[in-house]
A and B are shown apart, each in its own frame.
Chain A
Amino acid sequence: MADAPNPLARLAEVAREPREYIGRWRSAHPGQQVVGVLPMNFPREIAYAAGTLPVVVQDDRKPVTDGRSLLPEFYCGYTRNLADQAATGRFQGYDAVFMADHCIQLIGAADVMRAVLPDIPVFFGMLISSMSDTWAPAKIAEMMAEFRAEFESFTGHPVTDEALRSSIRRHNQDRQLIRRLFDERSSGRATFTPGQLQDIVGASMVMDPVEHHALLADAITQAREAPRDDRVRVHLSGHLCHAPKRELLDLIEDSGAVVVDDDLFHGRRYVSTDVDESGDPIEAIARWYARRNVNIPCPTRVQQDADWDAYLVGAVRSSGAEAVIHLLPKFCEPHMLYYPELRKGLDAAGIPQLLLETEHEGLPEESVRTRVETLVERTRRRRPVLT
């Protein structure tokens, strides 16, 4: 399948046009199903162990047309895009849709899918989001077991422990390789641009993890380390569920900033946590879900002892970032709710910050450039003067 000019370009192709990859995968795997997975916490490991190709459905950046009459305009761009994909035949590559996250906007989009695609099962098993409850671990494990049973029913064959362990190993291996790139970047040895890293993560949400790992390993072999220059070092934060526009990432780096770390979903957040490879695999996947929110806390979860603000300050200290840019998708309620806590935490730590609201439709480039440049100037003035 890897007939593209170079592995990095191939990964970018898959991330940007998943349908083409899905079509090829289908041809190579007759009789096996492709399932659309909605972000952010459905365990791909279980779906992959069942012999399906789990694809985290991406925002395909097309303008919302028919979807406008199915979801309100004040839903986030990603969910409106999902509704539009379903309404305009762009969901044809999927044999089923699986969802585990309690987000009311995502549920709205899934309800549209169920209405306009009556022949495709749309499964929703709600993972508990109140993570501090004493009964949370048992409920999470119970739901993970239900996912397994659902896949057994959907595919018509059992999902064995061995298949689950193998799937976990393969996903861990791929995650670890991706995570290495983020660790290297935050320690000052960047090999890939933010846009390239986003493509790498995005492709991993779509591809068979073994294939992705092989391609990425090739891409790393061919890549050259780019020494960090004098631009202002920034941490990108937020943008849950879907990727920010690549043009925005380029614009930020073209405005005097260099991205040294992030907690984006299409970034470090997605690969933050491995699944324990020992013991019962379903229990291990359940623990993965819980640990994920400790490693990089998410505003969609409620956990009293996991603080996104504290994480962010710690990440900034660790990477040497000088400023934070919050990327907030318009109408993302959990992010809107949590944002003042982030602002407060960063203010207390004396870290400059900028909030950029992103929209599905369009990117006001010059306005964003001016604002980023202002942040850069403001941050640069804080640097010690060398005599």
Chain B
Amino acid sequence: MVAIEDRSNRLSVTRAGGQLITDYWDNLFAAREQGKQIVWYNGGALNPIFQAAGLAWCHGEAFAARLAAQRLEGPAQLAGAEYGYNAELCSYARTHLGCAVLTLGGNDAHHLQGKEGEHSGVVGMNDSRELAARLPSPDFFVNNYAGCSTGQQWDGVSFRLFGKQLPIFNISHPFLWGNKPDAGYLRGEEWESASQYVAGQLRELISFLEAQTGRPFDYDALSEAMTYIKRAAELRREGLDLCKASPAPATFWDWIACVAPINFLPGDQRLVDYFADVRDEIATRLDAGISGVKDEKYRLYFDGIMNWNKLGFLSRKFAEHGAAVLCGRYIHNAFWQEPQLIDTTDPLLGMAQHYLLCPTNHGTKTLDYLTLKDCRDYDVDGIVFHSTRTCRAFTGPQRLLARSAQNELGIPSIFFEGDVADASFYKEEILESRLVAMLENIDVRRARGGQLAGAISP
């Protein structure tokens, strides 16, 4: 068997990010012993508010993604399935709810699942369930889900799973449908009124947190945390912009490795240092002519939430074909991506706006604008749509986006099946054959001087 050369060249600095993340989770697992209150939340990054309130926080999607990335999602998903969650349900939700079932341990939820998981016949199942079951129980829930309707319902069900005993706070986000004549990205009456509405709810959240903690909220601590986060976000944007170069010094997969730090790590100097290091390594590579993919031949856009089980595998797979995946909705249109909106002296409005800017909270009109802009800016040759099986929010507009890219920019695209946290949906052969076909199409197009393969000459 001939060994395939690994042509990917991932940033070395992201390993440091990995350590920050490990430290964060270890702290969370020890939070109860440290006497901290614990909040479970989903959706937009509320962690600076929790940080300022002196809480330990657990982002449900993040924990599900972590389990999947470590290939330890099985026990939680099995526990969820035994409890009754259908395999077609959002795999973030059912992994996290499965963790809740495991966390609840010997009480009703565990009793209902009949301990079947202990006799699943899966080798190593009982050992690997340890991490899934380490998630400390929450003291209360906060939901901050924009775009996807399942998000709010998920925490509503978590509330029920815990016997309706724990407080819960919901933040509602208007979907940015974009029908009004003045509507557009970051503009228009719809945007302004939605921003104020969500900011108002954040103020209500702070009152809720004061009631839960019994302490007045520390607004100075929030400003401080948001100052660090804003700076980290600026550095992240600078790094992203540097990747427009050809060949690109870093790829989408490097930025995927940076999702966790920007999404839920504490706002502090370590976060700023991390993103400064990321930006600097990219700049150094640029100066030295080092690329993220050896012999970059194709430049691609990736649309879809990450297939967390396959991060390393996919980065090598695309590189193997000389394909540098450079940008994507999940990276460029999420995670404090518009830091100029944040006024660190009074950050709530800018934070609210970022929650509204969740990449699943726009109508396709706006997504068209954002996607085509990035395709132009990064000089993209093709789009890869991750048809994320259990994520209806991300996949809904993908067919329309593919059509726009083809019609407006002449950019071809492919779809492949996979999922955020359930490896069983990934179809390797489909991705391989479709990717090869698209790359050949791009070759033919180049040979014809830009004309699409299959197009008839006038």
Residues of A within 8 A of B (CB): 69-72, 74-75, 102-105, 107-108, 111-112, 114-115, 121-124, 126, 128-130, 132-135, 139, 299-300, 302, 304, 330-331, 333-334, 336-341, 343-344, 347
Contacts and interface: CB of A to CB of B under 8 A. Distances in A.
A72 B392 CA distance: 8
Contact of A129 (B159, B172, B363, B393): B172
B200 to A, nearest CB: 8
Contact of A339 (B86, B154, B164, B172): B86
5 contacts: A75-B392, A114-B365, A300-B149, A337-B154, A340-B85
Nearest first, the 6 A-B pairs at minimum CB distance are A108-B396, A340-B84, A302-B156, A130-B170, A124-B177, A336-B86
B385 to A, nearest CB: 10
B150 interface: yes
A71 B159 contact: no
Given A105-B392, A122-B179, A133 B153 contact: no
B314 interface: no
B175 A302 contact: no
Interface string B73-97: 0000000000111101110010000
Contacts of A112: 399-400
Given A114-B364, A333-B150, A72 B156 contact: no
A70 B160 contact: no
Interface of B: 83-86, 88-90, 93, 112, 143, 147-150, 152-157, 159-160, 164, 168, 170, 172, 174-175, 177, 179, 200-201, 204, 360, 363-365, 387, 389-390, 392-393, 395-400, 403
Contacts of B392: 72, 74-75, 104-105, 108, 331, 333
A115 B400 contact: yes
B138 to A, nearest CB: 15
A221 B306 CA distance: 60
Contacts of A128: 172
B400 A70 contact: yes
Contacts of B200: 135
Contacts of B156: 302, 304
Nearest to A331: B88
A126 B157 contact: no
A111 B364 contact: yes
Most buried by B among A108, A139, A331: A108
A74 B147 CA distance: 18
Contact of A124 (B93, B179, B204, B399): B179
Contact of A104 (B93, B149, B154, B400): B149
B85 A107 contact: no
A296 to B, nearest CB: 16
B152 A129 contact: yes
B363 A111 contact: yes
A300 B153 contact: yes
Nearest to B101: A340
Contacts of B164: 304
A337 B398 contact: no
Nearest to A123: B179
B397 A333 contact: no
B153 A102 contact: no
A347 B108 CA distance: 13
Given A74-B390, A114-B364, A334 B149 contact: yes
A72 B179 contact: no
Given A124-B179, A333-B153, 7 more contacts: A103-B149, A107-B396, A112-B399, A124-B175, A126-B174, A128-B172, A300-B149
Contacts of B397: 108, 111
B159 A304 contact: yes
Contacts of A344: 84, 112
B15 to A, nearest CB: 35
A268 to B, nearest CB: 22
Nearest to A69: B399
A99 B375 CA distance: 32
B175 to A, nearest CB: 5
B85 A130 contact: no
Contacts of A129: 149, 152, 172
A134 B169 CA distance: 11
A330 B150 CA distance: 15
Contacts of A347: 112
Most buried by A among B159, B164, B395: B395
A347 B200 CA distance: 42
Nearest to A328: B86
Contacts of A333: 89-90, 149-150, 153, 392
A5 B90 CA distance: 48
A350 to B, nearest CB: 15
Contacts of A336: 85-86, 88-89
Contact of B84 (A133, A134, A334, A343): A343
Nearest to A334: B153
Contacts of B363: 107, 111, 114, 124
B116 to A, nearest CB: 15
Contacts of A70: 399-400
A108 B85 CA distance: 23
Contacts of B147: 104
B262 to A, nearest CB: 24
A132 B403 CA distance: 41
A134 B164 CA distance: 18
Contacts of A338: 153, 157
B153 A337 contact: yes
